[in-house]
A and B are shown apart, each in its own frame.
Chain A
């Protein structure tokens, strides 16, 4: 099917106003929040109903044309980036709240519904939707489902998969199926478990049933500043070891604090502290002040320079904005950055930070650090300037080396941002060829021709099809590299894995 016929067929489904197909209109859809790789889509369509999505997918399946579902495009691993001449199926017009059942604590939304909008709409009744990724003011629940998004408060409340109970899904051939169960556990195979976090490779969710929660009666938020990172990280371990389950424990290092302080979300951190912790407890009012006092005492025991309790909702909101805007604020100190998403056992925090500092020094690239410290999820922000030849590759290689270090201490390569195209190669740090084959076999059941978000999430075993330019590492290991042709050299920085 040529472009003209494709546009005609898609226009028949969505009408002339909900399709973009001229080359100049497609540039804005070349990438999502991960900008190191880009590709121009064949077209972008904006369906408004499940039936339209199904018809679009059926058409593309029949014509063997690949497609990518996309929400707000805030993903950080390139999950919505079209690299194979795909049709982008944008779900942002499917943004309705379909129904709410307060008594049974369920809501049904369309995939384009914005995460925070749901909490805002439930707020007056005293309810909210718990998963709170930093991009929650823009990201969509469909995107959250695809990436199994996390957020600061996942320490206590769990990630997206713990909050989605059922979904209507358009399969990669256009069939519409219902999976999961609104109440109780679904009988049969846990298909919902497969779909959540599948990064759009197993189908497109078109209606999502989520759990909603009663807002906690009370909240206390503590900010503690530390002269040494090690003290902050010991504080985190100690709080959790003491049996307290905070709603969130977040950490930022010096460079990250400097970046947000330069933004609209200025807190005014002392410039010489090495780390700040943001610790929140919530629940019944009774007992909460005592809990906050215990946390403050633990911070002091670990040589916190200062500890403060948020005195108003406005102060608490500012502290949270300062943390949640940290990624974007990195633009204040660097033209480009890559945010990594490693996971480590909490006790290894000091060790991994030292390794990150080493990598920063070796590469000459500054690295700011933001963590969900409570659950050991690190977000190193590797600063670079894409206009300087070779820096993008260097930054990518440093990110990869950090993930390698996370895996080496017993952790993982992603906590909540997904694999996308960014971390395909790093999947090999975690999985053997046999492991990858098993995952590909699952994909083949749902998406046998790999038309639905092709090339994402699982790398092909044994092949380094995803070319990674790691000139920097290559130069470092020139002696090993000498025996290989150039092409091989530039593929996998951790080729020994």
Chain B
């Protein structure tokens, strides 16, 4: 997928500021901040470091200062912009409605142009974000390599010989908990069209995602079954690609735009009523596609049309009305609010409603269930120390005696699997829809 690098803006209102490329942080977004500071106590990085530079208010202030030419775009601005988890907890409390997430992402876009990452880290990032993730076939090839590593005995050998120790601790732990990669993803495995059962409530196209489909293809399959079971015709557009959220987080907005355009074309052409996603991070990104096209009225309109159809699986089931399962699933579970579900998409009650509808299932709330677990896209790989500290706090909050921790995002699932592994706890890490699917399947009756 070829992308064109934008040119420097030589004129216009930002020409004096540090943000000299198009798509810069929007003055109308940062001027909304009234500097009240109500965001400080919910910001995970401020809680850990107590430095206002690493708080939402501080970051917005720095972005404003750089935009207005008061500060250069150097590490004093760049570091705080990149230590942000993009968890959006600040947006939930902000009385003024500052879109901190969008500002951070736009600022990262400027950094991406102004200070391209150098060396091995930069090359690796570009390889993954531009060379692999946007290309489903290449991503599948990488997935197959991982599967080969996991199933051929190579993993056992590497672990036994101690060669695994070349990896730093956080990567070793991540390697230990990675689920076995299935032979094929749901995008290939599922039929292109699955009929609705019972009263038809519409047609839904399943967005299979990249991480979800590599590591949790069974969650995608469960999602498709649950949709069909609840009267939705399921389509799985085969030409879809990764949503571009990781590119947006890294500041590579050009690449993200190209990927968004591709997905918008594919899904709008499918003519469905809903675009369904079960990964919170992707869901937020899909709903925010219009943000990427602020300067392009034609694509902005198409992106709006696309976003209006996007639903998280829990959101859609509650919206169209779901059949309460009749079979029991006797488990005691707790629910973790993925940041991009509760803060970015304001979806808190729907997943709980689904869980409470399952007979025999007991939901035990955990304190601060909406505090970030540290996964945050690839943050746990780029900032392992902070991610590790947040994971510890999250695991401290998991109530005693639960046999599963349930959530709606694959990144969180991998991260919390690391936490369970570290603490040696006897608990499954599950997606909400897996439990619902299990309840339906136990009914033993279709439709």
Interface flag for A325 (CB, 8 Å)? yes
- Contact partners of A387 in chain B: CB under 8 A: 31
Interface flag for B95 (CB, 8 Å)? yes
Whether A137 touches B38, Cβ cut-off 8 Å, given contacts A24-B76, A27-B71, is yes
Cβ–Cβ contact A263 & B96, under 8 A: yes
A residues 18-70 near B (Cβ < 8 Å) are: 20, 22-25, 27-33, 35, 46
Whether A332 touches B96, Cβ cut-off 8 Å, given contacts A35-B34, A138-B38, is yes
A residues 302-361 near B (Cβ < 8 Å) are: 325-332, 335-337
CA distance A484 to B90 in the complex (A): 49
- Contact partners of B62 in chain A: CB under 8 A: 27-28
Q: Which of B34, B95, B98 has the most CB of A within 10 A?
A: B95
Cβ–Cβ contact A260 & B38, under 8 A: no
Interface flag for A114 (CB, 8 Å)? yes
- Contact partners of B35 in chain A: CB under 8 A: 31-33, 35
- Contact partners of A138 in chain B: CB under 8 A: 37-38, 40-41
Closest to A322 in B: B95
- Contact partners of A25 in chain B: CB under 8 A: 53, 76
Cβ–Cβ contact B71 & A24, under 8 A: yes
Closest to A387 in B: B31
CA distance A139 to B37 in the complex (A): 9
- Contact partners of B32 in chain A: CB under 8 A: 331-332, 335
Closest to B59 in A: A28
**Pick the contact of A337 from B34, B37, B71 — CB < 8 Å?**
B34
Interface flag for A135 (CB, 8 Å)? yes
CA distance A337 to B41 in the complex (A): 23
A33 to chain B, nearest CB (A): 5
B residues 26-47 near A (Cβ < 8 Å) are: 31-38, 40-41
- Contact partners of B94 in chain A: CB under 8 A: 264, 328
Closest to B61 in A: A28
A78 to chain B, nearest CB (A): 11
Interface flag for A418 (CB, 8 Å)? no
CA distance A92 to B71 in the complex (A): 25
Cβ–Cβ contact B37 & A331, under 8 A: no
Q: Which of B37, B55, B58 has the most CB of A within 10 A?
A: B37
- Contact partners of A102 in chain B: CB under 8 A: none
Interface flag for B77 (CB, 8 Å)? yes
Cβ–Cβ contact A135 & B31, under 8 A: no
A31 to chain B, nearest CB (A): 7
B residues 279-331 near A (Cβ < 8 Å) are: none
- Contact partners of B33 in chain A: CB under 8 A: 331
CA distance A72 to B62 in the complex (A): 18
Interface flag for B97 (CB, 8 Å)? yes
Interface flag for B72 (CB, 8 Å)? yes
Mask, B208-240, CB within 8 Å of A = 1, is 000000000000000000000000000000000
Whether A90 touches B50, Cβ cut-off 8 Å, given contacts A24-B72, A25-B76, is yes
Mask, A107-146, CB within 8 Å of B = 1, is 0000000100000000000000000000101110000000
Cβ–Cβ contact B36 & A327, under 8 A: yes
Interface flag for B174 (CB, 8 Å)? no
Cβ–Cβ contact B70 & A33, under 8 A: no
**Pick the contact of A46 from B50, B76, B95 — CB < 8 Å?**
B50
B residues 58-84 near A (Cβ < 8 Å) are: 58, 61-62, 65, 70-72, 74-77
**Pick the contact of A328 from B36, B50, B51, B76 — CB < 8 Å?**
B36
Closest to B64 in A: A27
A93 to chain B, nearest CB (A): 5
A51 to chain B, nearest CB (A): 19
Interface flag for B52 (CB, 8 Å)? yes
- Contact partners of B93 in chain A: CB under 8 A: 137, 264
Closest to A29 in B: B52
Interface flag for A491 (CB, 8 Å)? no
Cβ–Cβ contact A33 & B97, under 8 A: no
Interface flag for B270 (CB, 8 Å)? no
B261 to chain A, nearest CB (A): 32
- Contact partners of B52 in chain A: CB under 8 A: 28-29, 73
Interface flag for A446 (CB, 8 Å)? no
- Contact partners of A93 in chain B: CB under 8 A: 50
**Pick the contact of A74 from B36, B92, B97 — CB < 8 Å?**
B36
Closest to A94 in B: B50
Cβ–Cβ contact A20 & B95, under 8 A: no
Cβ–Cβ contact A72 & B40, under 8 A: yes
A136 to chain B, nearest CB (A): 10
CA distance A22 to B79 in the complex (A): 14
B434 to chain A, nearest CB (A): 30
Q: Which of A24, A92, A139, A327 has the most CB of B within 10 A?
A: A24
- Contact partners of A260 in chain B: CB under 8 A: 95
Cβ–Cβ contact B37 & A329, under 8 A: no
- Contact partners of B40 in chain A: CB under 8 A: 72, 138
**Pick the contact of B41 from A20, A114, A325, A336 — CB < 8 Å?**
A114
Interface flag for A157 (CB, 8 Å)? no
Cβ–Cβ contact A72 & B37, under 8 A: yes
B383 to chain A, nearest CB (A): 16
- Contact partners of B74 in chain A: CB under 8 A: 24
Interface flag for A262 (CB, 8 Å)? yes
Residues of chain A having any CB pair with chain B under 8 Å: 20, 22-25, 27-33, 35, 46, 72-74, 90, 92-93, 95, 114, 135, 137-139, 260, 262-265, 325-332, 335-337, 387
* Interface pairs A-B: 10 shortest CB-CB: A331-B96, A24-B76, A328-B95, A325-B95, A28-B58, A331-B34, A329-B95, A74-B37, A28-B52, A328-B36
Task: Enumerate 18 A-B pairs (CB-CB under 8 Å) in ascending A order.
Answer: A24-B72, A27-B61, A27-B62, A28-B55, A32-B35, A35-B35, A46-B51, A74-B38, A114-B41, A137-B93, A138-B37, A263-B97, A264-B93, A327-B36, A327-B95, A330-B96, A336-B34, A387-B31
Q: Beyond A24-B72, A25-B76: 8 further Cβ-contacts under 8 Å? A: A20-B51, A23-B76, A27-B70, A30-B61, A31-B35, A329-B96, A331-B95, A336-B34
